């Protein structure tokens, strides 16, 4: 259930009390809520004291999987566990037949593109972002694109891509690492959606999720499956797996416990707030940043995105932002600011005041 603005701010303020101002770099790494930090401290303390809670770890993995399923609108059995995007995408790349054509954005994040590029026997066609839907043709086997671009925050025209792929009989893979958490998405609209949780899901590195639409299981390789992908895990610790788990769980990687302990806590916060409320919060702050940069004479990349990219800004801007305590990044030489849960209008004004003439 989405929260109203006042309740949203009350919850977020309690989770991020006392953090240093000026962190606008969620596109690089999200900030852990208080509940996540507490869960991790408790787990580490118990581990260090010789009391690792293995049952508690497993409960956290299950809770994280269920919370992520709710966040992207799918049944829990449609969610597989992974540790990285490249690992999850590799399951799809490995299953493609020789000669299969893959359409992708020419500037997309390497973790999404490289697993296909590594196979010399695939036909990888890299095209401009706005031309992806038009590039799909009857020979296309798969379309792979990020929901929001890491470098500049542009949001792909996902409905057009989905429609073009359906008409051509192609499958669709979405990398939601820069979008799931602030951009509402029904993962069942696509064959595969992968999202690493350490950015907009404010979770630790190592908690990654892959949704597999019903009927798309045949487009994944089980070549890297281990005991965690078995229907009866503890009966399949040794020797070949006799029977795989149902649905997407058959493609589980053995989860790193501590990252998923953190993810369970972080995803409970996002579930409490609601993605629509998070989106409204993030986009309002991002819009103010875009207005401010336009007034300075350096317009940001247009669009409704929580990632604000400013190409061509003066060379003095990075040092001025750093001097003001602003945490940002600069992929491809552009200033990139990313606003999320913990940010307020004060953070935005801090940025604009630092750059005021």
Which CATH number does the domain housing residue 335 bear?
3.90.1150.10
* pLDDT of 3 above 80: no
Range scoring the smallest mean pLDDT among 137-146, 227-236, 304-313:
227-236
| 181 found inside a domain | yes
Instruction: Mark whether 278 and 258 lie in a shared domain.
Output: no
Length of the chain: 357
For the residues 7-26, what does the mean pLDDT come to?
95
* pLDDT of 314 above 70: yes
CA angle 117, 121, 124 (to 5 degrees): 40
Instruction: Mark whether 89 and 210 lie in a shared domain.
Output: yes
Q: Is the pTM of the predicted complex or chain greater than 0.75?
A: yes
Instruction: Mark whether 258 and 110 lie in a shared domain.
Output: yes
Instruction: Mark whether 116 and 169 lie in a shared domain.
Output: yes
pLDDT of residue 230: 95
Instruction: Mark whether 214 and 266 lie in a shared domain.
Output: yes
Instruction: Give the residue among 22, 27, 20, 21 at the shortest CA–CA distance from 334.
Output: 27
- Burial category of 52 from C-beta neighbours within 10 Å (exposed 0-12, middle 13-18, buried 19 and up): middle
What confidence tens digit (pLDDT) does each residue in 221-254 have? 988 889 999 999 999 999 999 999 999 999 999 9
Instruction: Give the residue among 221, 216, 185 at the shortest CA–CA distance from 72.
Output: 185
| 45 found inside a domain | no
The count of domains in the chain is 2
Give, as one character, the DSSP assignment of residue 246.
S
Confirm if 147 and 178 have CB atoms less than 8 A apart: yes
Domain boundary among 218, 241, 272: 272
The span from the CA of 311 to the CA of 299, in Å, is: 8
| 48 found inside a domain | no
Confirm if 56 and 43 have CB atoms less than 8 A apart: yes
Q: How many percent of the chain have pLDDT more than 70?
A: 99
| 44 found inside a domain | no
What confidence tens digit (pLDDT) does each residue in 278-291 have? 999 999 999 999 99
| 41 found inside a domain | no
Range scoring the smallest mean pLDDT among 55-59, 157-161, 172-176, 223-227:
223-227
Domain boundary among 250, 272, 294: 272
Residue 155: phi and psi, rounded to 5, are -100, 125
Instruction: Mark whether 14 and 84 lie in a shared domain.
Output: no
**CB atoms closer than 10 angstroms to residue 194:** 30
The span from the CA of 251 to the CA of 232, in Å, is: 14
Instruction: Give the residue among 258, 207, 172, 182 at the shortest CA–CA distance from 27.
Output: 182
> Which residues, 6 or more positions from 318, have their beta carbon under 8 angstroms from its beta carbon?
328, 330, 335
Domain interval for residue 122:
54-272
* Neighbour order of strands in the sheet with 140-146: 79-82, 208-212, 192-196, 171-175, 140-146, 101-105, 123-127
The span from the CA of 128 to the CA of 106, in Å, is: 6
> Which residues, 6 or more positions from 291, have their beta carbon under 8 angstroms from its beta carbon?
none
Q: Where are the beta strands (DSSP E) in the chain?
A: 79-82, 101-105, 123-127, 140-146, 171-175, 192-196, 208-212, 307-310, 335-338
| 129 found inside a domain | yes
Instruction: Mark whether 129 and 168 lie in a shared domain.
Output: yes
Instruction: Mark whether 258 and 279 lie in a shared domain.
Output: no
* pLDDT of 39 above 60: yes
The span from the CA of 184 to the CA of 173, in Å, is: 16
Instruction: Mark whether 194 and 296 lie in a shared domain.
Output: no
Instruction: Mark whether 60 and 139 lie in a shared domain.
Output: yes
Give, as one character, the DSSP assignment of residue 339.
-
Instruction: Mark whether 231 and 184 lie in a shared domain.
Output: yes
For the residues 30-36, what does the mean pLDDT come to?
98
**Banded pLDDT at 2 (limits 50, 70, 90):** low
CATH code where residue 112 lies: 3.40.640.10
Instruction: Give the residue among 118, 117, 123 at the shortest CA–CA distance from 97.
Output: 123
For the residues 153-161, what does the mean pLDDT come to?
98
Domain boundary among 237, 272, 307: 272
| 46 found inside a domain | no
CA angle 240, 245, 246 (to 5 degrees): 145
CA angle 221, 199, 68 (to 5 degrees): 55
Range scoring the smallest mean pLDDT among 204-208, 218-222, 255-259:
218-222
Instruction: Mark whether 10 and 90 lie in a shared domain.
Output: no
Instruction: Give the residue among 334, 268, 312 at the shortest CA–CA distance from 62.
Output: 268
């Amino acid at each position: 259930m989405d929260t109203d603005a006042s309740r949203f701010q009350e919850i977020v303020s309690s989770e991020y009390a006392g953090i240093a101002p000026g962190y606008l770099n969620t596109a690089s790494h999200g900030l852990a809520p208080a509940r996540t930090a507490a869960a991790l401290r408790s787990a580490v303390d118990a581990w260090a004291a010789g009391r690792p809670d293995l049952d508690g770890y497993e409960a956290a993995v299950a809770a994280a999987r269920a919370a992520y399923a709710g966040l992207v609108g799918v049944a829990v059995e449609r969610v597989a566990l992974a540790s990285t995007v490249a690992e999850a995408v590799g399951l799809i790349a490995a299953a493609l037949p020789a000669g299969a054509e893959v359409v992708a954005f020419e500037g997309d994040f390497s973790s999404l593109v490289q697993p296909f590029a590594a196979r010399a026997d695939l036909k990888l066609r890299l095209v401009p972002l706005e031309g992806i839907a038009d590039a799909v043709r009857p020979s296309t086997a798969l379309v792979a694109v990020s929901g929001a671009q890491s470098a500049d925050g542009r949001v792909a025209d996902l409905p057009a891509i989905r429609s073009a792929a359906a008409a051509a009989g192609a499958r669709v893979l979405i990398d939601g690492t820069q979008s799931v958490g602030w951009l509402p998405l029904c993962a069942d609209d696509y064959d595969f959606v992968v999202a690493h949780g350490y950015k907009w899901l404010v979770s630790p590195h190592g908690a990654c999720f892959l949704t597999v639409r019903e009927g798309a299981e045949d487009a994944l390789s089980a070549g890297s499956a281990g005991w965690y992908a078995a229907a009866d895990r503890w009966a399949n610790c040794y020797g070949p797996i006799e029977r795989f788990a149902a649905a997407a769980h058959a493609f589980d990687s053995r989860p790193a416990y501590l990252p998923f302990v953190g993810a369970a806590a972080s995803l409970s916060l996002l579930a409490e707030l609601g993605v629509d409320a998070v989106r409204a919060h993030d986009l309002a702050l991002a819009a103010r940043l875009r207005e401010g940069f336009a007034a300075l004479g350096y317009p940001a990349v247009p669009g409704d995105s929580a990632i604000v990219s400013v190409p061509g800004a003066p060379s003095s801007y990075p040092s001025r932002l750093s001097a003001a305590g602003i945490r940002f990044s600069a992929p491809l030489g552009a200033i990139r600011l990313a606003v999320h849960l913990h940010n307020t209008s004060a953070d935005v004004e801090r940025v604009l005041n630092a750059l005021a003439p």
